[in-house]
Every structure is written in C-alpha cells, then in structure tokens.
C-alpha cells in the first residue's frame, strides 16, 4: 500500500470556478492498481484531505483502451478484478479506521 501527499481539485463538479480550487491532501492510499491490457493502467485510491471528507478516486487511462474482440474478456476481467480488490481493501480500511 502506497501513501503519498498531493493536491487535488475540490470535488464540486466540472466546469465551475470551485473545480479549479486546490485542496491540500493529508494522505492518499492506493487501494488497487494494475494493468488492464498491455499498455493501460487502472488505479483506485482513497484520498483523505485535511478539511474535507474522504473521497475515492478512480484514475482511468488518459486515452481510450483499445483491445481486440478476442481479448476483450481479459481486459474487462482485469478492470473488474482491480475494482473488486479496491472494494475489499477499502472495506478493510473502513473497518479498522472508520472512514
């Protein structure tokens, strides 16, 4: 589990002046991260800002993920495995730290 300090945009929705505000982050914990095909990575993390409730951020690849029909099930399975792993890790964190 990696923990990092960073800044994130306030979760007020896209296109508003509030979305450009920066909020200091106390802690960012990677819940799950891994490849979904040969080139793309999916990352799920929980972010705990100093003065806001915790949020879960899902970082999808910046461009479309391309695969052949023959490999689609592998890509979809990898993405679902990472999301399920993140859910399990988050449940463990919530049980121990009460997020």
Q: What is the pTM of this model?
A: 0.69
DSSP tag of 19: G
As given in the structure block, the two tokens for residue 86 are: 């993140």
pLDDT digits 0-9 by tens, 54-99 = 899 999 988 888 999 999 999 999 999 999 999 999 999 989 976 6
Q: Do 31 and 85 contact (CB within 8 A), yes or no? A: yes
Point out which residues pair with 49 in neighbouring strands: 25
Task: Grade residue 1 by pLDDT with cuts at 50, 70 and 90.
Answer: very low
Sequence-distant (≥ 6) Cβ neighbours of residue 23 within 8 angstroms? 7, 8, 9, 10, 49, 50, 51, 52
Q: Enumerate the domain spans of the chain.
A: 3-97
Alpha-carbon distance values, 84 to 18, 33, 45, 80 (Å) = 32, 11, 13, 6
């Amino acid at each position: 589990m990696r923990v990092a300090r960073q800044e994130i945009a306030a979760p007020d929705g896209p296109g508003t002046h509030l979305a450009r505000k920066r909020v200091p982050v106390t802690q960012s914990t990677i819940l799950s991260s891994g490849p979904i095909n040969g080139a793309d990575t999916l990352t799920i993390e929980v972010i705990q800002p100093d003065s806001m409730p915790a949020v879960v951020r899902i970082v999808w690849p910046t461009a479309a993920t391309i695969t052949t029909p023959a490999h689609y099930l592998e890509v979809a399975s990898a993405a679902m495995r990472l999301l399920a792993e993140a859910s399990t890790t988050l449940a463990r964190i919530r049980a121990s730290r009460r997020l």
